[in-house]
Amino acid sequence: MKHLALLGTLLLIAAMLLTACGSAQPAVLKIGLNAEITGNVPAVGASCQNAAELAVAEINAAGGLEVGGTRYKIELEIKDNEDKTESAAAAAHELNAAGVLLMIGPNASRNAIPAAEVAEANKMPMITPWSTNPRTTRDARTGQPKEYVFRACFVDDFQGVVAARFAVEELGSSKPAVLYDVTSDYNKGIAEIYKSTMEANGVTVVSFETYTSGETDWTAQLTRIIDSGADSLFLPNYYTEVPLQVQQAHELGFSGRILGSDSWGSSLDLITLCGADCEGLYFTTHYAPDIATPQAQAFIEAYTAQYGQVPDDVAALTYDAFGLAFEAIRVAGKADREAVVGALRSVPEYEGVTGIMQFKDTGDPAKSAVILQIRDGKFTYYTTAKP
């Protein structure tokens, strides 16, 4: 009987061990997403969330992310920043409290700048996919690079120069004008860089007009632009505003060339809203689907199959931000914030779907820009501008 009792005990222990092994959960690594899912630029948030979920699904389907010999399932923690400055900062605080290893986003510079302050204060690594304003990765007091904040895109210092040179050298503009939202960090920053680049090259900006977020009638500003004799108009504004600005300019009789920046990037929304008025216009951006590399084509095919539309620049940059994050975590060899930041700074070169990124002493990558033209109702590759 004693033997039977011992055998029963051993069988019970074995069963408990098997049950425990069978119910053991895989190691989980949490990454946060801080995106503009609602608010003024919902297409930006939708593209960001779609690409984030695709990147996570792909890595998990491949067995997870291997870090220091352990396979981790990636868990995505999503926060909607509502395209509001205070909500973006609050979302960053919430993700930090949730214990994410790092945070991807926000995208719009007006949201990324305050979120970056939270990330830096809490030593939480952050990669913004789409924020091009230099202040995102720079300390507001010292002007020095932040230690924990990175981006997957080029900066406005570069984009503004590219746009200005294109306007003069390619479009032949000698009397450029600008209309921009003075209350938005992104719009204001790139407009000022565009103007200073023109002036540094001996070209006078004949009209430098501003408005505030929420305006829908730019008749007064556009009339002053036309009266100035401007032969080109730079609109570094978001896709939700540009169609109406272009249409009003044409209705008032503006016949010069019009160009924009990467904030035009949502093709579905911009072209649908703008129609023939935007035909032939140019803008600077991050990648061109029609000349994508094999790596980028694979992403485009996967994204299109999943979501039924070609990914825009926000989607491509978000996917690259996650790819860069995964690479840094692998290199770090452990799920540790300081190790991940060190790995991000030591990555000499990362090839993503939007091109090759090189980090040198800052969180800003050196990478090329492309210029697209709206042709036959599509975004079409025109040329490349290298840093």
Compute the distance between CA of residue 250 and CA of residue 233 in angstroms, rounded to an integer.
Answer: 11
Cα angle for residues 318, 320, 324 (degrees, 5° grid): 120
Task: Identify the pLDDT of residue 269.
Answer: 80
Name the CA radius of gyration of the chain, rounded. Answer: 24
Residue type at 302 in one-letter notation: A
Residue type at 125 in one-letter notation: P
Q: Residue 21: pLDDT band by 50, 70, 90 thresholds?
A: very low
Q: In what order do the strands lie in the sheet with 27-35?
A: 65-67, 70-80, 27-35, 102-104, 126-128, 149-151
Q: Residue 335: pLDDT band by 50, 70, 90 thresholds?
A: very high
pTM above 0.75, yes or no: yes
Q: Residue 25: pLDDT band by 50, 70, 90 thresholds?
A: low
Around 19, how many Cα atoms within 13 Å sit in the side-chain half-sphere?
6
**Mean of pLDDT values over 132-157:** 94
Tell me the CATH number for domain 27-154+292-367. 3.40.50.2300
CATH 3.40.50.2300 residue ranges in the chain?
Answer: 27-154+292-367, 157-285
**b/e per residue 295-304 (b: at least 16 CB within 10 A):** ebeebbebbe
- Mean pLDDT estimate for the chain: 92
> 359 forms bridges with which residues in the sheet?
365
Compute the distance between CA of residue 370 and CA of residue 387 in angstroms, rounded to an integer.
Answer: 11
| pLDDT tens digits for range 272-327 | 999 999 999 999 999 999 988 999 999 999 999 999 999 999 999 999 999 999 99
Q: CATH for 157-285, among 1.10.287.70, 3.40.50.1100, 3.40.50.150, 3.40.50.2300? A: 3.40.50.2300
Q: Indicate if the pLDDT at residue 127 is higher than 80.
A: yes
| pLDDT tens digits for range 190-208 | 999 999 999 999 999 999 9
- Dihedral Cα 176, 132, 314, 371, nearest 10 deg: 40
Peptide bond into 294 cis (omega under 30): no
Q: Indicate if the pLDDT at residue 67 is higher than 70.
A: yes
- Contact assessment for residue 314 and residue 238, using Cβ atoms and an 8 Å cutoff: no
**Mean of pLDDT values over 117-121:** 98
Task: Identify the pLDDT of residue 13.
Answer: 46
